[in-house]
């Protein structure tokens, strides 16, 4: 069966510090990978998606970047965090277009 791992579960970082969130998927190959952010009172907002190694598409211009160094590994990064980067970050995978996405347990990021 397929599983998705996302860590850490919670993170408190000072403004201006770097960020690295990691997500890995097991039990499948060549998945589509996604990073979403969920803010209070708002729907899930897609940040990045990837259909293959090294292929990253950005949906929202921002202070964040993503990389996919391996088939089942997806990393969300920032060089300098802003207060507005606080939120609940979710990694997800799907088999392809028209198929459901499966989510990790999320990372609660608080920038102070």
Partner 1 sequence: EDQVTQSPEALRLQEGESSSLNCSYTVSGLRGLFWYRQDPGKGPEFLFTLYSAGEEKEKERLKATLTKKESFLHITAPKPEDSATYLCAVQSSSGAGSYQLTFGKGTKLSVIP
Query: From the CB of 72, what's the least distance to partner 1, in Å?
Result: 17
Distance (Å, rounded) from C-alpha 34 to C-alpha 91? 6
- CB neighbourhood size of 22 (10 A): 15
Report DSSP letters for 80-109, one per residue. Answer: S--GGG-EEEEEEEESSTTS-EEE---EEE
Closer residue to partner 1, CB minimum distance, 10 or 17: 10
Residue whose entry in the numeric block shows the structure tokens 């190959």:
29
Q: What is the largest CA-CA distance in the chain?
A: 39
- Contacting residues toward partner 1, per CB under 8 A: 6, 32, 34, 41-44, 46, 49, 51, 57, 59, 90, 92, 97-106, 108
Closer residue to partner 1, CB minimum distance, 75 or 92: 92
Closer residue to partner 1, CB minimum distance, 64 or 106: 106
Closer residue to partner 1, CB minimum distance, 92 or 111: 92
Query: From the CB of 85, what's the least distance to partner 1, in Å?
Result: 19
> Which has the closest alpha carbon to 82: 7, 36, 3, 17?
17
Query: From the CB of 18, what's the least distance to partner 1, in Å?
Result: 24
């Amino acid at each position: 069966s397929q599983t998705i791992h996302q860590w850490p579960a919670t993170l408190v970082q000072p403004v201006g510090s770097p960020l690295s969130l990691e997500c890995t998927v097991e039990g499948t190959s060549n998945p589509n990978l996604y990073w979403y952010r969920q803010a209070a009172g708002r729907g899930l907002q897609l940040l990045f998606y990837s259909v293959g190694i090294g292929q990253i598409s950005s949906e929202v211009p921002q202070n964040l970047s993503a990389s996919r160094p391996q088939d089942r590994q997806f990393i969300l990064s920032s060089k300098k965090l802003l207060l507005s980067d606080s939120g609940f970050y979710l990694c997800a995978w799907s088999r392809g277009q028209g198929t459901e996405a499966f989510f990790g347990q999320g990372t609660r990021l608080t920038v102070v």
